[in-house]
Amino acid sequence: MLANILLVPLCFVGTDDTIALKEIGVSLPSSVGAIKYKSRQAFERKDLGYSVGYANKMCTISLIVYDHGQKKIPNGKADPLVDDQMKRSIADVEAAQAKGYYKNVQRMKEDLPLPKAIKEAFATAGFTFDVKGGACKSYILLLGRNNHFFKVRVIQYVVDNQTNDEELAVFLDELAKAISAPAP
């Protein structure tokens, strides 16, 4: 029994439980509350970078690191390059609607229900839309960091008029802590 008690803390230590986005100097736990790491995907074109996916039954979160062929991407959210990438990301949502993936896309106009630290660090956009399985809320978070763009795409599923706002807030608070460290 004592051996089991001593081994329990070892389960929570170590780099095996950390997901690193090394190009931007950010690491996150493989599990943040009820939201868990699912996959890593490199895109075919090198300038499109890669995506790290987290999810649970109520949401999917994609962390995307890319440079889109840019060589000097400043840190932060207040830059014309970041503005351009945000416009492209918004256009991607509109294109998904045109292709029939999303229906009834509406841009959120009010203050987005995101943690303050996230809104301070990232350029943000929010949407509601319908997919085959029902209604969704979605957010795009974007910033420049260490000569890369860092985009976070969140889709929350609305089930019985409920979303997992509290679980998402825990994940986004952890993300805010991870990016608060200076870029390498």
Tokens of 16: 């095996």
Q: How many CB atoms lie within 10 A of CB 13?
A: 8
Counting other chains too, the contacts that 177-181 makes at CB distance below 8 Å and 24 or more residues apart are 178/26, 178/27, 178/28, 179/26, 179/121, 179/143, 179/145, 179/150, 180/117, 180/121, 181/25, 181/26
pLDDT score, position 133 = 83
Counting other chains too, the contacts that 14-19 makes at CB distance below 8 Å and 24 or more residues apart are 19/52
The residues with which 136 forms a beta bridge, in sequence order, are: 129, 157
> What do you get for the CA distance between the two ends of the chain, in Å?
44
Residue ranges of domains in the chain? 18-180
Question: The pTM is what?
Answer: 0.87
Please give the backbone phi and psi of residue 130, each rounded to the nearest 5 degrees, phi first.
-110, 145
pLDDT score, position 16 = 58
CATH topology for 18-180 is Protein Transport Mog1p; Chain A (3.40.1000)
| Alpha helical stretches, state H, the chain | 2-7, 80-98, 116-121, 165-180
pLDDT score, position 12 = 30
Q: What is the mean pLDDT of each run of 10 residues along the chain (184 residues)?
A: 35 60 95 95 94 96 96 94 96 95 94 94 96 93 97 95 94 94 69
For β-strands 103-107 and 18-21, DSSP reports them as unpaired
